[in-house]
Amino acid sequence: MRLRLTPREDSFYDMFAASANNLVTAARLLVELISDGADREAIAEKLRACEHAGDEATHAIMHRLNETFITPFDREDIYRLASQIDDVMDDMEEAADLVVLYKIDQLPKGVVQQVEVLERAAELTAEAMPRLRSMKELNEYWIEINRLENQGDQIYRRLLAHLFNGSYDTLTVMKLKEVIDRLEGATDAFEHVANTVETIAVKES
């Protein structure tokens, strides 16, 4: 029998994995929300529940942090990573809420592409979290998230040019821009998560 000298620390990996899986659920709800014929109010409600679950997961991580003497990596990075995962969720939930609140009928095609980028980023993040344990293959994740963020950026710029081409009325432009900005914010927030993971890996290197 081997003694476990740092008995509790492993739970952080599982907690971050659970938080990231929650982002996958949220991103898939966003895909649903923007599909034709979707019951948008019901899906936005599910996303709100997802966000509450995320808040509780974040608080659980903070609580565990206060109880744990030896952490697997810097306390500050655990704190930051939890906060940044929370930021992704907040932007996704707000985008969904605004679509419903503004009663937006039709979303431009670029929004579908934005949401696909988010779904892929969420999946990559969820796959990367368990790799924090070994600190291996995190570089690939970081490179891929950066690539996705660049792609999201191109989609975003083309969407802005599309919005401003004169085919929408002004209020619709403004409403759509709020939604599109939140989705772009979520893509950026995924990059912040990846940057923190990279910082952790750099410190451990």
Residue 18 as a binder of its own copies (CB under 8 A): the answer is no
- Cβ proximity to its own copies, 112 vs 161, nearer residue: 161
With contacts defined by CB under 8 A, how many residues of the chain interact with its own copies? Answer: 32
∠ CA 148-94-189, rounded to 5°? 30
Site for its own copies (CB under 8 A): which residue of 42, 49, 112, 161? 161
d(CA 113, CA 192): 20
d(CA 50, CA 44): 10
Residue 75 as a binder of its own copies (CB under 8 A): the answer is yes
Among all chains, which residue has been given the structure tokens 């979303």? 107
Contacts of 80 (CB under 8 A, 6+ apart): 196
d(CA 145, CA 192): 10
Q: Which two tokens stand for residue 100?
A: 């419903």
Residue 49 as a binder of its own copies (CB under 8 A): the answer is no
Residue 144 as a binder of its own copies (CB under 8 A): the answer is no
Considering only residues 107-126, where is the footprint of its own copies by CB under 8 A?
A: none
Site for its own copies (CB under 8 A): which residue of 76, 133, 136, 137? 76
Residue 199 as a binder of its own copies (CB under 8 A): the answer is yes
Residue 136 as a binder of its own copies (CB under 8 A): the answer is no
d(CA 159, CA 112): 11
Residue 79 as a binder of its own copies (CB under 8 A): the answer is yes
d(CA 187, CA 178): 15
Residue 14: how many CA atoms within 13 Å on its side-chain side?
6
Site for its own copies (CB under 8 A): which residue of 2, 3, 5, 166? 166
Site for its own copies (CB under 8 A): which residue of 94, 115, 180, 197? 94
Q: Report, in Å, the least distance between residue 96 CB and its own copies.
A: 11
- For residues 5 and 11, the answer to whether their CB atoms sit within 8 Å is no
DSSP 197: H
Site for its own copies (CB under 8 A): which residue of 65, 133, 140, 180? 65
Binding site for its own copies (CB under 8 A): 62, 65-66, 75-76, 79, 83, 94, 97-98, 101-102, 153, 157-158, 160-161, 164, 166, 170-171, 173-175, 177-178, 195, 198-199, 202-203, 205
